[in-house]
A and B are shown apart, each in its own frame.
Chain A
Amino acid sequence: MNAVPRRIQRVLAGISLPVYLLLYAPLSVIAIFSFAPSLGHPGPNVAAYGLLLNDPQVLAALRRSLTLAIGSAILGTMLGTLMGFGLSRFRPAKGGGFWLGTLPSLIIYLPIIMPSLVFGISELIFFNFVHEYTGLLSAGLLTMGIAHVTFQAPYVALVVYARLAGLDPNLFEASQDLYANAVKSFVFLTIPVVRPALIGGFLLAITLSIDDFTISFFTAGPGSVTLPIYIYSAIARKGSSPEINALGSLMIATVIGVALLYYFVTRHRERSNRIPAVA
């Protein structure tokens, strides 16, 4: 750590503490309220969790959420990997100017920057349009899946691209030099070296899908209520309840769990794969 004056360190600590508080206080409030007393259950209790796990609507929504998350994450990771690979591999050496350098990455990254409201509405209009003329793509898990893939893939591409960009460019030439054609080079070099990024990107895609509400809301059909949509409608109908708080707490725990998994997987892999730069 470079020498940061102690006074500045204190100021920074003074700013970051309230920020952390602001970030995590609501989460802990939900967690605490999930144990709140309710009708017939005085004092702190876990009745809400029991109710939740026996609610067929919740379980169906959970199943749909997981199906959607895993399915879209697999597809999103595959597409995102190819995008990240293409972005790093076929970019001209000198940046390529606007048309070959900036534009391709802009097109890929735009869904990340785009407000999800705009994204969701445009998906809705697009799917309606297609459905009207072809009868395909009626609103449901399929349309939600397509929408999820389109916003997951850029994130995966970003992670994979970062990994590839950090590698010695000579590695790919070395594989060609050692008799690997393009396909062998991809299978025996590219895939193994980006594997940590691949796993990380996959887990990231799952978390993105599980907690997405806006885009899901616009692309969902009557039979494809996922957890976030279920929570929204439950709150809209009867306000916050211990069950909803319990559900929220479980989702927070899951996402934290996946994030930790992601952290340890990538960190462990990174460490065993790193080659210190030659001075």
Chain B
Amino acid sequence: MDALIVIFITGLVGLFVGMMKKPVLTLSITITGLVTAFILTLYARSYESIFSKYNGLSTSPLTDAFSLLVIGLTILIVLGGFNYFKKDKEHTSDYYGLMLFSLCGALIMIAFNNFFMFFLGLEIMSIPIYVLVGIKKSNVLSSEASIKYFFTGSFATGVLLFGIALVYGATGTFDLLTINSMRGIAEPSPMFHIGVLFILAAFLFKVGSVPFHFWSPDVYQGSPDAIMSYMSTVVKVSALCAFVTLFSNVFMDSKHVYLIILEVFIAISFIFGYVSALKQSNLKRMLAYSGISNTGLAMLTILNGDFGSLWFFLLSYTAATICIMTLSQAMDKIDSEDISNWKGIGYKNPIIGVVIIISFLSLSGIPPLTGFFGKFLILSNSFQNHLWLVIIGLISSVIGAFLYLRFIVLSMAKDSNAEKICLSPLHFVIIGLSTIVLLFGWSILLF
């Protein structure tokens, strides 16, 4: 709660300071605010907050862990995007302000307590992103992405609201705890089930899973690198967290209705994402499609309410995504979106090569990298009830490994014409941090 307020105020202050058109100042204010929020969340359990009695949000060590993840990711993205943002002096503070407001929404999505806050969080998170996606006004792809995301997103919001209204009609309350306490007492009305299905549809859209995934490749491709990494990490983390909160707990009563739907969509996501990614020649589209499969894997945790594995898997997935996207931003001389331009980059620049190897191997789930343990946790926790999904997941991860390995092979080719890239200190720090997470993140599990 304190972190939320700090971030909001930082965003406001940043916007005003932005009038001075000093990018470095805006950056330092933003980072200060974010780091303060990070520390506040880290020690949230050890001091008495003045806002602790707020009814809309309920925090627990679990929500703190997710909040830490999204704030940490935002810090990395803010730092990594700086070289790009500062070129556009007029709008540097807009980027940062919007990103911070969106982060507020994400934090609410993680800790919400009733449907009202949930809807508020979702909208606060989404609306700044509609703007951020279209911020390159003169770029056709960017405008297309923004419009596309806005229209489909608003439609999803409408569906979500309709679903919430139906659930409200069936239970007479917005409060999750009250709905929880009604569970199992009486058979809920069909209205409840229909409402849950509507909410499910909206969620599938937000996390970008089959069958509502069509926006994600286009939107990812159109948006700037930093915004794309924000969408594929922070937004995904918070949406998945809310997804699990609602469906593994509150909506248990209609599990028999949505279970089979969810299982089928997860299974299709597994295969569809990687298979479509095989044909992509654009890095962002490839990541978007493979992200569909990774989302499918994360959605397995919904079936047994497994927050711990979800967190750990998302940690590995987001760290790898940040690594790759930061590398892509570091390659400013060549068009990093075209995959064929990565040929030989890793061989020519050994450090970048090692980072590429580590992040893609982690994504494909090769031990002892963190990505393996993320996948392992999810699969081993759900194999008892959903053996077939686990087997499909394993098979799909072979396709994924092929996809990622092909990229490694391409970037590691002996090619003397490849560009020599010097990493700026900022990028170096970000890549270093996320590589450490990928290499040694699994040691968290030992404590």
Q: A and B: partners?
A: no
